[in-house]
Structure formats: structure tokens, C-alpha cells
Amino acid sequence: MSILSDTFYMMKKDLVLEFRTRETLFAMGLFSFAAVLIFSSLFNLIENITLEAQYTISTAAMWFIVTFTIMLGLNSMFSRETQKNSIYSLLSLPVKPQAIFLAKLFYLVVIVGVVEIFAFIVAIVFLNISIQGSLLLFIFVLIFGTLDLAVAGCVVSLLTIYAKSKTLAIPILFFPLILPSIIIAADATRNLTFYYDPTAVITNALILFLHAVIISVLTLLLVEDLISE
Amino acid sequence: MVTNQQADNTVVNLSKISKTYGFTAALKNISLSIETGETIGLIGNNGAGKSTLLKIIALLVSPSSGNMEFSGVDVKDRKAVLKKDMEVLLSHAFLFDDLTGRENLEYYFKMNKRISNPKQAVKEIVKQFNLKLYIDRPVREYSTGMAKKLEILRVSYPTLPKVLLLDEPFSGLDVENRKMLHTIIKDHPPNKTVIICSHDFNAIAQLCSRVYYLEKGRISQSYLPNEYDQFL
């Protein structure tokens, strides 16, 4: 059995568990919905807001929501293995540690993806965002941005796997790692939705992709040390 | 003196293994050689280091220093491959509460790679152990005894792995499961090895071909069956 099939079976198990209980999905969905409504109501309170300001704040809000949605997902990443103080159920498997990292990463990307589809429909309706340029480019920015944040989140989850106070450790490590990515992703989305500057969008999307690849490669090289007690 | 034949039979060889957690030394310079076919008992009071030693042998925890060989192979770079030959039963269940018994067994059989057709194996288990009423229910609905039975089957079906590691295996077991596990350990094939860790000497002594007594992270005594009276 290859690393890919190991990854697939571990990811499938996590997704089956998540879609059965829907605990994390519900929390992420509810947070996204509430956040979009709050930003939407704020725009209604401000008089004479320019379209540029509205788009700038909306795109920043969009990535703010994505970031915190991912953070909600991070808490549950290894919780099924650690809830009974049994990370050993994962470590006892005859699989390469890289498969564990990839399985958790793809699991996070899938559940965040599901929430994003829901959240963006809500955001388009309530925040009144329209995409001026290519929808395909928008999807690329969204995928690369989410992938980048999810990779960083996975690394942080691995680093804090044995931490006693995860709720404190995760934000401390996660935010410095993803801050440049959020700025780039928000800039790319603003360029796409308001200015429509495809060159800038593609450059930003590539930076996000490269950032995700670099962190992934480094993690794949170090994952064995990160995961072992 | 160790003969060539004995050396070839060695399945686990620990050399000067130490483990520290922060400033606390859990194990200090443990050297131990376990041969194929043996049933080894690790006895000691709480905090003696027996569970840590078991987890190091199971490749779940890395030692702070020392070397470990599994069937003559240094474990450092081959953990994933070597884990195929091991199963471990810890006091914390590995089963996922929101999966059914069937899904749990199929998942572990697929991942552990000892069984070529996991679905068929689970069907056989259901038939052989009369689990039809329980197997498609989520594990959270199982009684402790039922969950433990599934855990025992997870590590021992259809045959034992090369090395079976058991941490306090008899605690919380009902009579039926105790009997089942007792039979599995006692009748294990000569090419398999069982390592049991417990604080209760009486619970495991009659099953073991050797018992090591751990004290403050060191092996302080070892006993053969004819020396068990000395321990008591």
C-alpha cells in the first residue's frame, strides 16, 4: 500500500467522522454566517461609504472569516486521536509520518472548502461583492489562499500536538506564520473584485502557492520529528 | 554466553535505552533482549517506567538515548515497515466512538496491512464471535467489555502479529474476555512474541516465560517461572 492510499484511508476516516457528527462543520458554518452578517450590518450603518472602501473592507473581511474558520478546524484536527489521550492510535499505524500530515491537510482543505462554498454564497448576497474579472482567477486565488492557510494550520497543529494549552499555543504560532499570506490573499481578491488587475492577481496567487509548497516540503522533511513524542 | 542460534532468535534488542521527560528520567539505561516465542512480563509499581518501556518497544515513543533493534534491524529509519509486525493494546482504547465496530475494524485492518481482505475478515469475525447485534452500532453505544473485546480482536485476528504488546490487558475485563485473552496469550504460536506490562504480578505470572521487575526506571530483577516464589 502506497503513501497515497494510506493518506486516502486516514482522510476518509476523518471525513466520515466529521460528516457524521458535523460538530466542526456546524461551528465553522455558524461562525462564517454570523461574521458575514456582522460586516454586512456595519456597512449599512456607515453613510456615504465609497465603493472602493466597501470592496477593500469586504475582501479583508472575507479572508478574516476564512482564517478564523480554519482556526476552528485546527482544534479538531488531532482531537479524535487525542481526546482519549491516545495519539498512539495514529502513531501505531505502519504508515509514513508524511501520510499522516497529508491526510490531515486534505481533511482540513475539504471541510474548509465545504464551509467556504456556503460562506461565499452568503458573502456575495450580504456583502454585495461582484467579481469584475475572471471567475476562474477568483477560484484560483481562493484555492491557493485556502491551501496556504491550511498548510500553515496543519504545521501549527503538528507543532502543538503535545501542547497542554492548545487554545493558547495555536494562535501564537499560527498568526505570525499566516499574516503575510492573508495580506497577499486579500490584496489579490481586491485586485480581482474592484480594480481587475489580472497580472497582480496571478502574481499574488503564485506567491500564495509557492508559500504553501515551501512550508509543505519543509514539513514533509521534518514531520517525523514533529510527530514523535 | 549467547550462541548464534540465540542471537538469530532475538526479536527485540534494547541497548542502554533511556527516556527523559523534561527533567524527569522515566527510564535509565535499560538493556534487554527478547527472543521469538517468549512471553515477557514487565512488572512494577505505578511510575516505574514499564508503560514507557512498552511504548518504546512498540515504536510509539522515541528513546532519549540508546539503541533498539527489531529482528536485527536498527529501528531508526524503518519504523513504518517494522510497525507492520507489531500490534499494541494500550489501556486507552484505539476505537473511534462515532464509527461502528465494523468501520473501526475495517479501518485498522486496512491500515495495519496484516489482512489482505479486511471486509471479509470482519464478516468472519462477526460470524465466529457472534457479533451480529453489535457490529453495525457506533462504538459509543458499546459496553466497556464489548469495546475491549473488539480491541482484542483488532490486535489478534486472524493470527497474532510477530510481536504483541499489551499494557495492563486484564484491567476492566469481564470473565469472558479475560478467558479469551488468556487463551490468546497462552496458546500463541512459537514464532510470535508477547510482551505484557502490568502492576499485578499474579495476573500475568502464569502466562510469562520471564518477568522483569522495574523500579524507578531500571530493571532491578528478572525472574524465571521457577523463581516466581522469590517475588511473592
CB contact under 8 A, A20 and B98: yes
Which residue in chain A is spatially nearest to B114 when comparing CA positions?
A94
pLDDT at residue B232, rounded to an integer? 62
CB contact under 8 A, B83 and A92: yes
Q: How confident is the model at residue B6 (pLDDT cuts 50, 70, 90)?
A: very low
Which residue in chain B is spatially nearest to A6 when comparing CA positions?
B111
pLDDT (mean) for A74-88: 76
- Among A152-156, B88-92, B123-127, whose mean pLDDT is lowest? B88-92
Residue B148: other Cβ atoms inside 10 A: 24
More confident residue, B180 or B227: B180
pLDDT at residue B1, rounded to an integer? 40
Q: Which of B59, B111, B139 to mutate to test the interface with A (most CBs of A within 10 A)?
A: B111
DSSP string for residues in chain A: --HHHHHHHHHHHHHHHHHHH-HHHHHHHHHHHHHHHHHHHHHHHSTT--HHHHHHHHHHHHHHHHHHHHHHHHHHHTHHHHTTT-THHHHTSSS-HHHHHHHHHHHHHHHHHHHHHHHHHHHHHHS-----S-HHHHHHHHHHHHHHHHHHHHHHHHHTTT-S-HHHHHHHHHHHHHHHHHHHHHHHHHIIIII--HHHHHHHHHHHHHHHHHHHHHHHHHHHHHH--
pLDDT (mean) for A139-146: 90
Q: How confident is the model at residue B14 (pLDDT cuts 50, 70, 90)?
A: very high
Q: How confident is the model at residue B2 (pLDDT cuts 50, 70, 90)?
A: very low
- State what percent of residues in chain B have pLDDT above 90: 50
Asked if residue B5 has pLDDT above 60, the reply is no
Give residue-wise pLDDT tens across range B199-218: 888 888 888 999 999 999 99
pLDDT at residue A57, rounded to an integer? 85
Q: How confident is the model at residue B9 (pLDDT cuts 50, 70, 90)?
A: confident
Please check whether residue B140 touches A, CB under 8 A. Answer: no
Q: How confident is the model at residue B47 (pLDDT cuts 50, 70, 90)?
A: confident
Q: How confident is the model at residue A84 (pLDDT cuts 50, 70, 90)?
A: low
pLDDT at residue A85, rounded to an integer? 59
Please check whether residue B86 touches A, CB under 8 A. Answer: yes
Residue with cell 487525542: A82
Give residue-wise pLDDT tens across range B149-174: 899 999 998 888 999 999 988 887 88
What whole-number distance in Å separates Cα of residue A40 and Cα of residue A124?
A: 10
Please check whether residue A41 touches B, CB under 8 A. Answer: no
CB contact under 8 A, A16 and B99: yes
pLDDT (mean) for A97-107: 93
Residue with cell 456615504: A48
Which three-class secondary structure state does DSSP give residue B28? Answer: strand
Please check whether residue A13 touches B, CB under 8 A. Answer: yes
Asked if residue A210 has pLDDT above 80, the reply is yes
Write out residues 168-187 of B within 8 Å (CB-CB) of A: none
Give residue-wise pLDDT tens across range B72-83: 888 887 788 888
What whole-number distance in Å separates Cα of residue A40 and Cα of residue A123?
A: 8
What whole-number distance in Å separates Cα of residue A1 and Cα of residue A209?
A: 29
More confident residue, A44 or A94: A94
CA distances from B62 to A184, A228, B136, B210 (A): 40, 7, 37, 25
Mark out the alpha helices in B83-131 (DSSP H runs): 101-112, 118-128
pLDDT (mean) for A47-68: 85
